[in-house]
């Protein structure tokens, strides 16, 4: 019986799942840009003020499950009798934000999770004006609030491009800071 049939997690399977999620997000961004789903302004059209909310959310990792061997199998194959949730990961929802150059963005960062998180756009100084970092957004454990907390920031997109946003608080379980999959807690802001 192989390790997979025995239900033993495979080395790198978590990394493969993370890579698959990242590739999916990138494909979504590129598709949206290619199809023109982000509304671009024509000449003489004024900049907008737009509001978004991003939430520290959770995604579920699902696998195929064989009830005979009580083991994980490839999903959507004849060996899979059912689907089973085998884990979770933390993510931004939405993980892609599309704005136009010149737009002023009011962004509310919500953290309903247990640990503290933050939000920061990684960009050169001339790409945005205003505040592109949230500081600590406390979770349920440290705030004492059963729904967590939220912070609102405001910035103007100045330079077209694709930028990463992420949590800058390193994972520290003892202090209720971030989450074990901190390194993958990233999203994308596209400025058209």
Nearest to 60 by CA among 186, 143, 181, 167: 181
Residue 113 CB coordination number (10 Å): 21
- CA distances 41 to 99, 101, 104, 161, 192, Å, are 10, 9, 14, 15, 9
Q: How far apart are CA 113 and CA 61, in angstroms?
A: 18
- Which structural domains are found in the chain, ordered by start? 13-191 (2.60.40.420)
Nearest to 165 by CA among 104, 103, 102, 94: 94
pLDDT tens for the chain, residues 1 to 192: 444 444 444 444 444 444 444 445 444 444 444 334 444 555 666 889 999 999 988 777 888 899 999 988 988 889 999 988 877 778 888 999 999 999 999 999 999 988 888 999 999 999 999 999 999 898 888 899 998 899 999 999 999 999 999 998 887 778 777 777 777 789 999 999
- CA distances 70 to 83, 87, 114, Å, are 12, 17, 32
* Length of the chain measured in residues: 192
Q: H or E segment at 107?
A: strand 104-111
Q: How far apart are CA 71 and CA 5, in angstroms?
A: 5
């Amino acid at each position: 019986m192989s390790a997979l049939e025995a239900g033993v997690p495979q080395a790198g399977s978590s990394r493969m799942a993370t890579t698959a999620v990242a590739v999916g997000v990138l494909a979504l961004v590129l598709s949206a840009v290619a199809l023109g789903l982000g509304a671009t302004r024509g000449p003489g059209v004024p900049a907008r003020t737009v509001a978004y909310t991003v939430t520290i959310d959770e995604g579920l990792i699902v696998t195929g499950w064989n009830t005979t061997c009580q083991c994980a199998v490839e999903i959507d194959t004849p060996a899979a009798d059912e689907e089973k949730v085998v884990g979770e990961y933390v993510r931004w929802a939405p993980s892609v934000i599309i704005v136009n150059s010149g737009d002023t963005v009011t962004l509310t960062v919500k953290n309903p999770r247990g640990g503290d998180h933050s939000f920061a756009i990684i960009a050169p100084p001339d790409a945005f004006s205003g505040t592109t970092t949230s500081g600590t957004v406390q979770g349920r454990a440290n705030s004492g609030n059963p729904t967590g907390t939220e912070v609102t920031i405001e910035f103007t997109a100045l330079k077209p491009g694709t930028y990463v946003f992420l949590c800058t608080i390193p994972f520290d379980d003892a202090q209720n800071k971030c989450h074990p999959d901190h390194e993958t807690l990233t999203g994308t802001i596209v400025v058209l």
